[in-house]
Amino acid sequence: MIARRAHRDLARAITSVENGIADYQVTAARLAAQGHRREGAGHAAIIGVTGPPGAGKSTLVDRLIEGFRANGETVAVIAVDPSSPFTHGAVLGDRVRMQRHAGDAGVFIRSMASRSAGGGLAPATRDAVRLADAAGFDVVVVETVGVGQVELEIVAVADVIVVVTVPALGDSVQTIKAGLTEIADIFVVNMADRPGANATAVDLKHMVREGKREIPVLQTIARDGTGVSELFAALGARRGAEDSNAVRAVRFELVRRARDEAVRHALAALDSPDAAAILERLRAHELTRNDAIDLLLPMLGGPVHAH
C-alpha cells in the first residue's frame, strides 16, 4: 500500500516537473527525503496503452487497474489528453472511466494535458512515470492521447506497448497505419461486442505474420471485462521475456535528443554574424539559395552535400 501522504507529495512533484519548476533529479531526491522511496522502488513495470480516439483505452486501463489490484500490486496511471493548440486549454476526461478506484490507496491516477507536444505524450510524461516508479508503485500505466497514426514517443517510456483498436468497417487494417507492428507488443481489438471484430483480428494477425516479431492479437470488451484475463496472460508473458524494448527505448530517446541538440545547434549557427552576412547577400541577390545553403552547411559542423 502507498501512504496517503505519498499521493500528495508525488502529485506535487509531478506538478513541479510539469511546470518546469524543478527537474526530475531534484524532485525525486525530495520525494526520497520525504520518506517515499520504498525498498525495491525504481523497478516498476511500465505499460503503454495507445490507439485511436475513443477506442476504449481508458476503459481498458480501468480493467487493468482492477486486475493488478486483485493481484496485490499497486498501480499509478498517467493519462494524457490533448491540449487545444489555440487556447492551450484541455478537458482531461480519461479519469472518468477510472474513478471507481478513487477510494483505493493502492491506486494513483494523474491526468496530463499534452501541452502541444507531439507524439501522444506530454513533455513531462516521462518524468511523471519515473517519479511514480520512484514513489514505489509496482505498475505504471501510461495512456497516450488518442492518436490517429503511429506515435512513437511511447516507445521511449514504456516496457510493453498495448495498441488498442476497434472493429473497423471495410478496410479494417487500413485504419492502422504502417509502423504499428514495430511498436506494438500486444494488439487488442476492443469493442469485440461490435460487428467485424473477428475480421479485424484476422486482418491484424495476417499483418503480424509478415513482421519479424510475434505479437499476440486479442479481443476484448473493456466495458464488461470479457477477454481481459487473456490480456493479463499476454502482459505476464511479456514481463518475463527478454527485454529488447529497453534497447529500442534507449535508441529512440538518444536519437530524439541528438536531433533536438542538432536543431538547437543549427538555430544558433544561423544566428551567428557569419551566417547573417551570408543571408544578407542572399537577400541582395548576390547569392542563389543553393549557394547560400552550401556556404551555411559547414557552419553546422555536419557533412557538406553538393547540390
Ligand X SMILES: Nc1nc2c(ncn2[C@@H]2O[C@H](COP(=O)(O)OP(=O)(O)OP(=O)(O)O)[C@@H](O)[C@H]2O)c(=O)[nH]1
- Site residues (CB under 6 A) for ligand X? 53-59, 94, 97, 146, 190-191, 193-194, 221-223
Cβ-contact 198, 172 below 8 angstroms: no
Site for other proteins, residues 30 to 49, rule: CB under 8 A: 30
Minimum CB distance to other proteins, residue 131 (Å) = 12
Cβ-contact 89, 55 below 8 angstroms: no
**Backbone CA torsion sign across 101, 241, 228, 151:** positive
Among 50, 58, 125, 245, binds Mg ion (CB under 5 A): 58
Q: In terms of DSSP bridges, do strands 45-50 and 107-113 run parallel, antiparallel, or are they unpaired?
A: unpaired
Which range of residues in 88-96, 123-131, 229-237, 256-264 is near Mg ion by CB under 5 A?
88-96
Judged by beta carbon, residue 87 or residue 174, the one nearer other proteins is 87
Minimum CB distance to ligand X, residue 226 (Å) = 8
CA distances from 196 to 4, 47, 175, 217 (A): 45, 27, 14, 15
Judged by beta carbon, residue 221 or residue 231, the one nearer ligand X is 221
Judged by beta carbon, residue 7 or residue 97, the one nearer ligand X is 97
Cell of 306: 553538393
At 301, the amino acid letter reads: G
The distance between the two most distant Cα atoms of the chain, rounded to a whole number of Å, is 73
Name which of 87, 29, 39, 56 is nearest 226 in CA terms.
56
From CA 169, how far away is CA 175, in angstroms rounded? 10
19 binds other proteins (CB under 8 A): yes
57 binds Mg ion (CB under 5 A): yes
Among 43, 72, 85, 102, binds other proteins (CB under 8 A): 102
Judged by beta carbon, residue 20 or residue 40, the one nearer other proteins is 20
**Which one of ligand X, Mg ion, other proteins, none is in contact with 54 (Cβ closer than 5 to 8 A by kind)?**
ligand X
Q: In terms of DSSP bridges, do strands 160-165 and 139-143 run parallel, antiparallel, or are they unpaired?
A: unpaired
Minimum CB distance to other proteins, residue 5 (Å) = 8
**Which one of ligand X, other proteins, Mg ion, none is in contact with 55 (Cβ closer than 5 to 8 A by kind)?**
ligand X
Judged by beta carbon, residue 55 or residue 121, the one nearer ligand X is 55
Judged by beta carbon, residue 74 or residue 111, the one nearer Mg ion is 111
1 binds other proteins (CB under 8 A): no
Burial 198-216 (b: 16+ CB within 10 A, else e): ebbbebbeebbeeeeeebb
CA–centroid distance for 3 within its chain: 27
If 0-12 CB within 10 Å is exposed, 13-18 middle and 19+ buried, where does residue 73 land? middle
Cβ-contact 156, 256 below 8 angstroms: yes
Which range of residues in 91-99, 159-167, 213-221, 242-250 is near Mg ion by CB under 5 A?
91-99
By the criterion CB under 5 A, which residues form the site for Mg ion?
57-58, 94
By the criterion CB under 8 A, which residues form the site for other proteins?
4-5, 7-8, 11-16, 19-22, 27, 30, 83-84, 87-93, 95-96, 99, 102-103, 108-111, 113
